[in-house]
Structure formats: C-alpha cells, structure tokens
Amino acid sequence: MRFDVLTLFPDIFNGYLSQSLLNKAINNQLVEVHLHNVRDWSADKHHRVDDRPYGGGPGMILMVEPMVDAIESVQSRDDETAEVIVLTPTGEPLKQPLVEELATMKRLMLVCGRYEGFDQRVFDVVRPREISVGDYILNGGEVAAMTIIDAVIRLIPGVLGDEDSPRQDSFSTSNRLLEFPQYTRPRSFRGLDVPEVLLNGNHAEIDNWRRTQSLQRTQDRRRDLLGEG
C-alpha cells in the first residue's frame, strides 16, 4: 500500500517511520510512505503557502494554488489513483469501520493542514474525503495523518504477526465491542489474581468468559456501541 503525505513539516515523520511495525512493513515492502513538502509548490520566492483570511480574523489560511498544485502533481506520480484525504477537524470522524475501508485501498494521499486550515476552494476543487481524528484541535494534520497510517497498516495482511489480532480488537466490525480484560505473568500481583477460568485450558469456557467481559465492559463504558447511545 502506498501513502503520500503532503505537509509543511515532513521531518516530523522521520522518527515515526523508522520505528517498530511501520519500519518493518516498509522494509518488507508491504507499505511505502512518500513525504512531500507543500512549500515546493509555492510560487513565492520565500516559499510562502499561507495568507491572511478574507473578512479578517486571527491566524493564516493555507492558499488554494500551492495546495491544489501539490495534490494534483503528487496524484500523477503513480498509475494507481490515490484516495485523497484532507485532515480536518470538520471532517467525518475516524472510526474503525472507516479504517477498515481505507485498508482495502491501494493508495492514500494524506493532506495535512496547519495554521487556521485550508482555503475552502481546496475542498471545492479537489473534492477530497475529509477526515477528523476526534473532537479536539491539533496544531497540524501530521499527528492525524500518522494516526490514519498507524491504524490502517495494522490491517494490511503480513504487517502484524497474528492475522487474527485485528479481528479481536475493540471496535472491529467483526466484533464491535470493547476488548475483554487481558492478563499475563505473574499469576498474582499485590493480592490481585488472574481469573481462574483463564488458567484451566478450557477454550470454550475462556471464549465464553471473554465474550461476557466484553459485553459488560461495553455496557459500562460505551453503551453507544450497543446502539443504546
């Protein structure tokens, strides 16, 4: 799967790309991440890509020309057409079913905003998918882009050691519940014992206990997932 990330701060990604699962997936050629600095499409001699908002108000707005030029130019760099995603707090909330849908695609372009966000005409011209990672305001779209990459690559076959693992995760469409409590060694810590049922090797009983715990936890913490919002 190919990711193209458009950002004013490509260096933010370096540490993240060189670590853990993502680094392994890149080395195993399961994932490619291409970083593009939007300033490269600025017509200004100082490489400016932002300007003051019409109508007044605080902050700066990302200009339509360099943004659209960057998106169109990067789109043409591969035969596979990318699903263009602009990260914005006003977009569709990122939930696991959307992550699962994105994981079926071959190429995603992630466009990161900064300052007060984008000139509206970027959306009007490009007609991207607009995605928010939650109801809060980040300083830029880079962390949001990393969130999408991180969530999506887990679902690409071969990236995780155990292919069943994502199916058991909280929110997955094959589960839709919160995950049950998990334990590892030691069996006892400060008087807290691992539940007996997990030690007896009876897989039917273990599955049943886990299902009950998942349901209970979802009812206590996230009734909205059970359609009882």
For ligand SAM, give the closer residue by CB, 72 or 92.
Answer: 92
Q: Alpha-carbon distance 194 to 186, whole Å?
A: 8
Known active-site residue 166: no
Active-site pick, 89, 114, 166, 210: 89
128 binds ligand SAM (CB under 6 A): no
Size of the site for ligand SAM (CB under 6 A): 19
Local structure of residue 118 (DSSP, 8 states) = B
Q: Is residue 139 a contact point for ligand SAM (CB under 6 A)?
A: yes
Whether 89 is a known active-site residue: answer yes
Q: Which of 28, 95, 124, 134 binds ligand SAM (CB under 6 A)?
A: 134
Which residues neighbour 58 within 8 Å (Cβ) at sequence distance 6 or greater? 116
Residue of 154, 176, 217, 222 marked catalytic: 154
Measured at the CA of 49, the angle between CA 44 and CA 51, to 5 degrees, comes to 100
Could you give the 3-state DSSP secondary structure of residue 196?
helix
Active site residue 127: no
Phi–psi pair at 86, nearest 5 degrees: -100, 130
Near ligand SAM by CB under 6 A: residue from 64, 112, 126, 148: 112
Report the distance separating Cα 166 and Cα 99, nearest Å.
11
Binding status of residue 141 toward ligand SAM by CB under 6 A:
yes
Contact 63, 193 (CB under 8 A): no
100 is catalytic: no
Binding site for ligand SAM (CB under 6 A): 87-90, 112-114, 116-117, 132-134, 136-141, 144
Active site residues: 89, 116, 154, 169
